[in-house]
Amino acid sequence: MGDRGTFALLLLAATCSGPPRPTLPIDGDAIKAHIQKLASDEMQGRAPGGTGEKLATTYINDFYHSIGLKTQFQPVPMVGITSTASRVELTGQSGKKTLKYGDDFVVWSKQEKDSISASAELVFCGYGVVAPEYQWNDFKNDVKGKIIVVLINDPQLEDQRKFGGKAMTYYGRWTYKFEEAARQGAAGALIIHETELASYPWEVVRGSWSGEQFDIVRPDKGASTVPIQGWITRTVAAAVFKSAGLDFEEMKNKALQKDFKPVPLGIQALVDVKQEMRTVDSKNVIGVLEGSEKPGEYVIFTAHWDHLGIGEDQNGENIYHGAVDNASGVASMMEIARSAAKLQPRPKRSLVFMAVTGEEQGLLGSDYYAENPIFPLAKTLANINIDGANVYGRNDNHIEVIGFGYTTLEDILRDVVAHQGRTVIPDQAPEAGHYFRSDQFSFAKKGVPALFTKSVTPEDYKEYTAKRYHKPSDKFDPNWDMKAAADDARVLLQVALAVANAENWPEWKPGTEFRR
């Protein structure tokens, strides 16, 4: 492996005093055309394992082939599970209450069984976190066989030395909470949704976790996962706490204390889930531009091609087009690849353009790749992930680094964007944990420095999240201004070329949890 330690200083010197940057023509209209195709009704929302996957992956692969990349598919074996909750009842001192699916809760299971049932006491377990490095344990009492109820995110404290302060860590991710519930032997885990803390409304939860869900095929058929996984609304949670004689906000405050212990809620939950299953041969789509001097070393671009398919009807529409999320990211990556393929001479190291599957289901495609890499991770210098392009034409002359302060890649980025008259700014919503919510995280967990950026203005992002994120209304708009998307694509390609042509390797900055 190359020397990462002196990378930033040497590379900055090279980028400031080296030969002029090559012209990198990237056409915003071409990006727009790809989005229009990938987000069309024909693609049926691009869910894994269906017609939409076949059409989308073929389109991407054919494009890679047309621009001269070496192409291949990486099979990603999945199981598709459609869970239907036939009954969720809560029984306590105040009587019995039947919850309404979709409005009050969503539940599913990753266990490959025709039916899953759980009858168990509800226990409030704070944030559902066990973090030895912070001397934190929300499971001081045994919760084996219980259905745990946990808060969203992690204990976001003022002390920056604990859980990243106000910035969310992986302990706040829903994937972690279900993993920990399984380790604790719980019969089920329900996360309490709160819109402000989640950064998306309940409708996103309902749309994202209704219908068929996917998981990687597991040798144990999911037996090691927590049997019941789900979300409940804040309104339902507050009512449950009230019936137990507890105040929800007061209990949230108590959960911020290190000495917090699980609190039995005195309510018996009965959950019945019926399931239909199928195996799915999904795939990651890979195009490679071989390096001119070190073809066995790699810089990997990623963007997830999948979305939510056809789901719950909203305002007369049921195709979840995923135009911004993430047809726009794939489209940007495709045009970056086109521009890179025209370069003479070629970059010294290989550039890989990987459209991954299953991001919406928990980073399945990128996680599978990280566990089964086609190109050795020890020879992978960096990952650059694109999840949502700026389709609004405006960027406030900045580019935002999600996971600010993590890697020396942002030092290169800072120099590159300066030539566009722009600046690099930190993540504007670190409490939302976006670094852990997209495919760069799969590489980061393996120690590969990873860069994730966005440039959309806060106003545009807020409007998109409230009205279109994970909804059928996230669809193509012919009036989009793609100038900002093209600018961002040029920036990311320039960063990739700087890494691919440098003598030394990027590295994680001191104190970063992914530093190896």
Task: Convert the pLDDT of each residue in 489-501 to its tens digit.
Answer: 999 999 999 999 9
Q: What pTM, to 2 d.p., does this model score?
A: 0.92
What is the per-residue pLDDT for 161?
Answer: 60
Which domains are seen in the chain, by residue range? 7-68+290-501 (3.40.630.10), 80-277 (3.50.30.30)
Reduced to 3 states, what is the DSSP secondary structure of residue 327? helix
Binning pLDDT at 50, 70 and 90, where does residue 70 land? very high
State mean pLDDT over 263-291.
97
Reduced to 3 states, what is the DSSP secondary structure of residue 24? coil
Q: Kindly state the percentage of the chain with pLDDT values over 90.
A: 83
For 106-158, the pLDDT digits (tens) are 999 999 999 999 999 999 999 999 999 899 999 999 999 999 999 999 997 65
Provide the pairing of β-strand 188-193 with 294-304.
Answer: unpaired
State which amino acid sits at residue 420: Q
For 375-402, the pLDDT digits (tens) are 999 999 999 999 999 999 988 899 999 9
Binning pLDDT at 50, 70 and 90, where does residue 15 land? very low
Assess contact for 469 and 486: CB atoms under 8 A. Answer: no
Inter-axis angle of helices 7-17 and 409-418, to 10 degrees? 20
For 417-449, the pLDDT digits (tens) are 998 899 999 998 888 889 999 999 999 999 999
With a cut of 50, say whether residue 19 has pLDDT above it: no
State mean pLDDT over 353-370.
98
For 156-169, the pLDDT digits (tens) are 765 556 676 778 88
Q: Which of 63-67, 198-202, 418-422, 467-471 ranks highest by mean pLDDT?
A: 63-67
| Residue 359 neighbours by CB distance under 10 Å | 26
| Residues 309, 472: Cα–Cα separation, whole Å | 9
Assess contact for 387 and 304: CB atoms under 8 A. Answer: yes
CA dihedral 181, 183, 185, 187 (to 10 degrees): 30
What is the per-residue pLDDT for 120?
Answer: 97
Q: Which of 23-27, 209-213, 503-507 ranks highest by mean pLDDT?
A: 503-507
